[in-house]
Amino acid sequence: MAILSNSAFGHPNGKIGGMVYYMLKGQAVCRMIGEQGKPSIKQKANYQAMEVTMRLVKPMKEFIRNSFELEARGTVKNPHNLAVSYNKKQALQGEYPNISVDYSKVVLCYGELPGARDFSMSKTETGLILNWNPESYAGGHDGDDILMIQLCYPSRKYGRSFLNASRRDSGEVILPLSEVDIHEPIEAYACFKSADGKQISNSIYLGNINGTVKSAKEQAAQEKYTLLKTRFDQIEPDYLTRKSQIELCLKTENKAFRTLETEYLALKDKLAHLPGGPG
């Protein structure tokens, strides 16, 4: 049952057939419920895009809650909604069913405060060192602006936020990392937020440390290559030995050898053309 209010007919509030109506931050919302039938390819692509985006933003929710708070203020949206919306549109690559994240295009905030310039990032034995030039900014900022850092670990679906990493005028910050974290692939982002919390800069992609994480398709190809290569390495010595013996007339060719040769040549051809191998 739905309840009407606030006008001659009002806004429905409740369930009507396969639709449910409710108010969210003062805005009337309607959603479909129940079975929706077999999805089309476009719907499947949209589902996967949303799934990939949600996996991206979930480990960064603490950073996002602070970075998008200003833009969400006074609207019906929240920081999470904004992060999902921006990154679903801008940070994905590939086509269904192989949609993945382009980490260089991830957006963690938009704002008017001057951002980070001349940034560099390097790894030490115990963490990361970030440097920037405090003198390279052309007005509209203060030395006590807060540097916010987000580290993303795609292989573990984990993120680490440094919401008050340093001041703008310090020019350097050292981020200590655990022995596990320091060896994982890392995608790093930064932004500046004014000390009074009223302004924020655009986020900037600082780069990758320790290499990128392979997509599901690339991982599957590598696993298949490894499986075939293992089998190839098992039979190659036996095949080459038997072949040599036959060529030297020490043994005669038989059905067992022909079966072995067929498998050897098939594996060799597959390995030569299969992605996922060295290089």
- Give the count of domains, the chain: 3
- For residues 226 and 198, membership in a common domain is answered with no
pLDDT for the residue 13: 73
Same-domain pairing of 198 and 223: no
Output the pLDDT for position 64.
98
The candidate with the shortest Cα–Cα distance to 63, out of 148, 145, 144, 147, is 148
Kindly indicate the confidence band of residue 220, based on its pLDDT and cuts at 50, 70 and 90: confident
Q: Examine residue 121 and state whether it is found in any structural domain, yes or no.
A: yes
Q: In this predicted structure, what is the pLDDT of residue 10?
A: 64
In this model, does residue 242 exceed pLDDT 80? Answer: yes
* 147 and 232 in a common domain: no
Phi, psi of 215 (to 5 degrees): -70, 170
CA 99 to chain CA centroid, nearest Å: 10
For the segment 232-236, the average pLDDT, to the nearest whole number, is 93
Is residue 13, in this structure, part of any structural domain at all?
yes
8 to 3, 29, 246: CA distances (angstroms): 12, 18, 96
Residue 193 lies in a domain: yes
pLDDT in tens, 86-111: 999 999 999 998 899 999 999 999 99
The reported pLDDT for the residue numbered 99 is 92
User: Does position 6 have pLDDT exceeding 70, yes or no?
Assistant: no
User: Could you check whether the bond before residue 176 is cis, i.e. omega within 30 degrees of 0?
Assistant: no
Residues 154-209 pLDDT 10s = 999 999 999 999 999 999 999 999 999 999 999 999 999 999 999 999 999 999 99
Is residue 269 scored above 80 in pLDDT? yes
| 201 and 245 belong to one structural domain | no
Decide if 12 is inside a domain: yes
Give the range of the structural domain holding residue 264, as residue numbers without chain letter.
216-273
pLDDT at 278 > cutoff 70: no
Per the prediction, the chain carries an average pLDDT of 88
**pLDDT number for residue 233:** 93
Q: What pLDDT is attached to residue 7?
A: 58
Tell me the CATH number at 186: 2.60.40.10
Question: What pLDDT shows up at residue 216?
Answer: 66
Least confident segment among 11-25, 192-206, 258-272 = 11-25
pLDDT of residue 272: 86
Residues 119, 175 share a domain? yes
**177 shares a domain with 149:** yes
Amino acid at 130: L
Final residue belonging to a domain, choices 160, 191, 209:
209
Question: CA 117 to CA 128: how far, in whole Å?
Answer: 18
For 215-236, give the secondary structure using H, E and C.
CHHHHHHHHHHHHHHHHHHHHH
Res. 1 pLDDT band, cuts 50 70 90:
very low
Q: Are residues 250 and 184 in the same domain?
A: no
Residue 236 lies in a domain: yes
How confident is the model over 45-90, as pLDDT tens digits? 999 999 999 999 999 999 999 999 999 999 989 999 999 999 999 9
pTM (two decimals) = 0.72
pLDDT band at 18; cut points 50, 70, 90: low
Say yes or no: 233 and 258 in one domain.
yes
pLDDT tens digits, 139-154: 778 899 999 999 999 9
Last residue of a domain, one of 194, 209, 224: 209
Choose between 215 and 132: higher pLDDT. Answer: 132
